[in-house]
Structure 1
C-alpha cells in the first residue's frame, strides 16, 4: 500500500511539473450518494444515502485534455443497518487523488484514482454508536461537460480498516466495506 501511494505521488508530481505551462484545475461539485455496505463479521448489510460536496484541485495540461488532481468529498448520508435496525444521520469524508482526461468529443470526461483515507461516522442511536476510519480503495468516474457544467457518475469501492464503538455483541467492526455510487453536478475551471 505504501508503494502504491508513493508511486501515485510521483506520477502526480511528474505530471504537475510537465504541466506548468498549461495551468491550474479547480472543480467544485455537489453530489447524491448511494452506498451498499457490508460488515464482514456477520455478512450483514447497511446502506448510506445522502447529499455531499466534492472538490478536485490540481493541474491540467496537453491543451486542457489531461488533468491530475487531489480529490476530497464531504457528505451527510443517512446510515441504516438491516440486522440491528440502527438508523442515524452520519458524516462521511474521503481524500485521495485522480488522473483523468476531458475529450473534445461531446465533452466526454473519464478519470480514475485512489482514496487514501476517510471516515464514516454515524450518530448514536439507541445502544448503537460506531465510527469507521482509515478508508481506502479505488475510485473511477465518467462525465459529460455541457457548456460550463459537468454531469458525472463516480464509483468508490471503500474498505475501512478500523471500526470503533458499540455495535451490540459484535467483538470487532474492522474491515467494513462500502461500495458508493455518486451522481454529481460540477463546474470544471481550467485557468
Structure 2
C-alpha cells in the first residue's frame, strides 16, 4: 500500500512537472565506487570497490538550470568482509529519483535524491554466499560541467534491510549498511 501511494504521488508530480518542463534530460555516466559497510549483526566491516554505469533520465526546467529525474546504477564491485576473509566479485544495482541544479557559474552542478531499492549480490566464495536486498537511503552529488562532459562526485548512504544466504554461524544478515562514494564522468544531454 505504501508503494502504491508513493507511485501515485510520483506520477502526479511528474505529470505536473511535465507541463512546466522545457525539455528532456538524459545523462549516462561511467563511475568508480568505493564503499565502506557494516554488518550490524556482528559489528564487522566490509568494503566494495569497482566500476559501474549510471543513467539519469528526466526533465529540465528554467533554461536548463533545474532538473528532476529517475536515477539507476549498475556496478561490478569486489566485496570484502574483514572478519571472515570472504572476498568475491559482486553485482550491485540501485534505482531512485533525484532533483538538481545546473548553475551558470563555471558549470557547477549539484543534486540530491533518494535510493528506493537496490541489491548487492557477491558471488559464492568458500563457505560464504550472501545477497543483500531492499537498499534504501539518500544520495547526493556535486559536479562540474566542462563543455559537454561532467566530472562528478556522488555519495550514497545505503541500508539493505534484507540479507539472505550462507554466512557461517551468523543467524541474520539483515540491516547491512554501506556508505558508497562514487567518482564519475558523465555526458549530460538536455534537449
- Specify the SS of the correspondent of 2:145: strand
1:16, 1:68 within 8 Å by CA — same for their partners in 2? no
SS where residue 18 of structure 2 aligns?
Answer: helix
- Provide the residue aligned with 2:18 in structure 1: 16
Distance of 2:155 and 2:2 partners within structure 1: 23
TM-score normalised per structure 1: 0.95
The equivalent residue for 2:133 is: 133
Which residue in 2 is equivalent to 1:56?
A: 56
Query: Normalising by structure 2, what TM-score?
Result: 0.95
Shift of 1:79: 0.1
Report what 1:185 is aligned to. Answer: 185
Distance 1:134 1:45 in 2: 20
Q: How many residues align?
A: 189
Is the alpha carbon distance of 1:8 and 1:85 closer, same or farther for their aligned partners in structure 2, counting shifts above 3 Å?
farther
After TM superposition, the structure 1 = structure 2 runs for residues 17-96 of structure 1, keeping only pairs within 5 Å, are 17-19=19-21, 22-96=22-96
Map Cα deviations across residues 32-66 of structure 1 (whole Å, 9 max, x no partner).
Answer: 00000001111100000000000000100100000
Unaligned runs of 5+ in 2: none
3-state SS of paired residue (1:144): strand
| Unaligned runs of at least 5 residues, structure 1 | none
